[in-house]
Structure 1
C-alpha cells in the first residue's frame, strides 16, 4: 500500500492488534465478546488482526471447541496463532522435549523460576511469542492500537511490552478479574505476589481498562487509584447474528391459543456451561417442589451446553446432580450422564424431569429459545459476576427465573426486564414458587408482551454495548495516525 507523504492525512484503514487467546473455535465463555468486537470493527472498516490460541491446545490439550463458531467470524478478520509452551499440561512422557526428558528437575526449576520472576501465568510463552510476531508485522505495517482481553492475563503483559517497544497505545479488557476471585469476593493472591505488581504495571500504562460491571470496576479502582480515571464499564451484550430479529410467544402460549388438546407441559431450559460454582442442588430441589404443583406435574427442565470447560469436568458435575437427587430420595433420576467421564451423553436423565440435551452451537440457539417456555438463569457468584448469557436470555423474550445468590450483578440488568421472576435467594421453596409463576406467565404471553421484553433487551445488543469501546479505539487510532502523519514514529 502506498503511504501518503508525511504531513498529509492517511486514508488507510485503522489497524488493530487484538490479543484474544480464547477466540473461535474455542468455546470458552469469554469467546463471544472478542468475536463480536472483531466482527464489528471490520464491519466499520478496521483492519483487524487477532492473535489467538494455537489449535493443538484447543483440540488436544483442553478439548474445548465449537467448530461451527468459526463460521460466524468475519472472513476479513486476520487470525494468527502464536506458539504456546504446553509444559504444565504435558502428562505423557512422549510429549517431553529432549531437554525435559533428560533433565526433568532442572526443567521444572527453570519453569517455576519463570513463573515467579518473569510472568506469573502458564500462558507467558504465548505472550512472548505474540510480541515477537507482532513486532515483525508492525515493522512491515504498523498497528495503530492494541486491544488485549483476559483471561489469560499474559495478553495484558504482551500489550504492555509491545507498547514499551513501539509506543503503540493499548486497552485491556477484563472479561474476568485477574487478582479478584469473583466468586469468593476475596483477593486471589497473597500480598507480594507478582500478579499484583504486573497488574499495577499494565494498568498504569494502559490508555484504558474495561470492566463488565460497575462493581468490578470499583474494586479495581480502589486498589489501583493511579489508573482509576481511565477505567470504563463496558457491558456484555447479545449477538443479533445468532438470534432472530423477532421472537414469537413461547410454546405454552401458542398451544393455548390454538386450543391444543390436553394440558401443556411447561418447558424450562438452561443454556450455557454448567460449572462447579453454580447452585445445582438448590435448583434440583426447587424444580422438584415446583412439579408438585397441579399444573407442573409434567414440567421438564432441559440443560443445553457443556459440563465444565475442560476434560474431566463432566464426572464431578454429574455426581452433583446424582447427589442432589439422592438427597431427596427420588427415584428415576441421577443416571449416568457420561460414559467415560470426559464426555456427557446427549439426552441423559439427571433428575426426575431433568435432562441433559447436549451441547448446542451458538449458531443453533435460536431454535432452543423458540421451543422454550421459561429460561432458568442458574448463576454462580455475586456482585462481581455478570453472566454474558443473561443478555441473550432477555433477547429471547421469555420469562426468566433467577437461581443465584442475592446481589448478583445481573440483578441490576434484570430489574427492568418485564418477565423476570426472582425468588430473592436460594430457598428451594421460593424457587418453586417462581418457577410455577413463570410457567403460568408463559402460557398467557402474547406478541406485544414478547415485543416489550425484546424492546428492553434491545438496549443491550452487542453493537450498542460496544459503542464506548469503539469510540475510544477510534480516538486512539486517529491520534496515533495523526502523529505518524506529522512525521512521527511509524
Structure 2
C-alpha cells in the first residue's frame, strides 16, 4: 500500500490515504513507524477514529452485558457488524467510511478511488462515491473475497448476501488487482464478463529490505535458521516444524550445533504472544532444542536480521491460492530457503528455479527433518555465484517492478490521454500531512 501511494505521487497525482487512528492499529496488531518513514511527504493521510470494541482489554470500560455475558456479547457484536455489510465487525464501519470519503471528496474532488482489502467494507465506500458522485474506482483486492485461500474452495455462494455484494462492487470497478494467477483465474471463471478487469499484481519486496551481502556460514559454530513473518498458521503446522527440527538435530551433527530464531508477530489483540504458538516455542526452548523468539521486527532492521542468519525458514499455511508477503524477500536475500508449506502452493511458483531452495514437502515431520539437513548442507556449500543467481531469480519480484506498471495501467484507464512520467521514484523521507477526521461532523 505504501508503494502504491508513492507510485501515484511519482506519476504526478495528488494522493489522500484514508486509514484508521494509530490507537486502533495499536489495539490490533501494533505499528511499525519505520515503515512510515518511506511514505512520500506529499501524501496526505486522514485517520478515522474507528475502533474494534471487541479488542478492548480494559474491563473498566466494559458494558454490564459484556462483563456478565462475554460470549453472547461477542456474538451480538459480530451480528451487528453484518447488518449493513456482510463482514463481521468491520461491516459496522460502512456508514462512517461513506460519510468520511464524501467529505474528503467535497473538499478535494477525487478522480479515482482505490479501495484496498481487507477489510472488504472499504469497497462499500468506493462504491458509494461512484453511485453518488460518479467517481471511478478500482479495487486492490489482494487475496480476493469469495475464494477461500486457506481451504482452496469457495468462501460463499454467488447468490448469498456476500456474493451479491461482491458482484455489485466488482461490476462497477475499473480494475481489480489480485496477488497471484490462481486467484485471478478463480475470479475470471466466477465472473467471465469481467475477466479482462482482473490483473495479477504481486506483493513483491522492497529492495531496501534485503541485505547487500550475507555472512559466510561457520559450520563449526553451527548455523542460524531464521523465520521472519506473522505466525498465524494453525498450531499443528508450527508443531510439525518444531518436531522436524528436533528430529533433524538428533540425526545431523551440523543441525545439532545450530539454532532456530523466530521473529515477527504472533497473534493479535489480547492474544498477542499469549497463545498456543508461544507455548510450543517456550516448550521447545525449555527442552534444549535451541529455539528462541525475538519478537516483532521493525522494517528498518529486517536487512540486518537477514544478514545475521544462514538459512531462512518459510513457514506458511494454505495451498495453491496462498502466496506470502515474505517469500519475495526470502528469495531476494541470496540465502538458502527451506520451505514448510504445502507442495501445491503459490510460494512454490515463486521459488521454482531458485538455486538455493530445498523444495516443498508439506508438513510431514520426517520430510521436514530431511529438509533441515538439506538446507544446512546448501548453506555450507553455496558459492557467491549461487547467491548471486538467487538474487537474480528474485529481481523480477521487486516491488517497484510489480507496482509501477500496475499504477500506470490504472492511470491510463482513468485518463487514456494522460502523459506518463518517467520511471517512478520516491522522494526523500519526510513527514506526511496527517489529519484526524471527525466522524461526528
Which residue of 259, 276, 279 corresponds with 2:233?
A: 276
Q: Say which SS state the counterpart of residue 415 (structure 2) adopts.
A: helix
Number of the residue aligned with 2:384: 447
* Structure 2: gaps spanning 5 or more residues: 420-441
Which residue of 345, 349, 352 corresponds with 1:412?
A: 349
State the alpha-carbon separation in 2 of the partners of residues 207 and 35 from structure 1: 21
Residue-by-residue CA offset, 1:145-183 (whole Å, 9 max, x unaligned): 111111100111111111111222111112233222211
Which residue of 33, 41, 61 corresponds with 1:75?
A: 41
* Structure 1: gaps spanning 5 or more residues: 1-33, 257-262, 323-332, 336-347, 483-490
CA contact (8 A) 2:80 2:89 kept: no
Which stretch of the first structure deviates more once superposed, 122-131 or 301-310?
Answer: 122-131
Number of the residue aligned with 1:251: 216
Number of the residue aligned with 1:321: 280
Which residue of 334, 338, 358 corresponds with 2:283?
A: 334
CA contact (8 A) 1:39 1:74 kept: yes
Number of the residue aligned with 1:359: 296
State the alpha-carbon separation in 1 of the partners of residues 29 and 359 from structure 2: 35
Note the aligned Cα RMSD (angstroms).
Answer: 3.1
Number of the residue aligned with 2:271: 312
Give 1:228 deviation, angstroms.
2.1
Residue-by-residue CA offset, 1:432-467 (whole Å, 9 max, x unaligned): 222222212212333222111111111100011113
Residue-by-residue CA offset, 1:85-137 (whole Å, 9 max, x unaligned): 64555576764799x99xxx99x989846623555442235443333232233
Give 1:75 deviation, angstroms.
2.0
Which residue of 3, 14, 17 corresponds with 1:50?
A: 17
Q: Say which SS state the counterpart of residue 47 (structure 1) adopts.
A: coil
Change (3 A) 1:77 1:243: farther
Bigger RCO of structures 1 and 2 (CA < 8 A, at least 6 apart): 2
Q: TM-score, normalised by structure 2?
A: 0.84
Q: Say which SS state the counterpart of residue 48 (structure 2) adopts.
A: coil
CA contact (8 A) 2:356 2:382 kept: no
Number of the residue aligned with 1:171: 138
Q: Say which SS state the counterpart of residue 382 (structure 1) adopts.
A: coil
Q: Does 1:231 find its partner at 2:180?
A: no
Q: TM-score, normalised by structure 1?
A: 0.76
| Bigger Rg, structure 1 or 2 | 1
Q: Say which SS state the counterpart of residue 406 (structure 1) adopts.
A: coil
Residue-by-residue CA offset, 1:260-317 (whole Å, 9 max, x unaligned): xxx1301110001111336111111111122121222211111011212332143323
CA contact (8 A) 1:121 1:153 kept: no
State the alpha-carbon separation in 2 of the partners of residues 114 and 274 from structure 1: 27
Q: Does 1:289 find its partner at 2:247?
A: yes
State the alpha-carbon separation in 2 of the partners of residues 77 and 182 from structure 1: 32
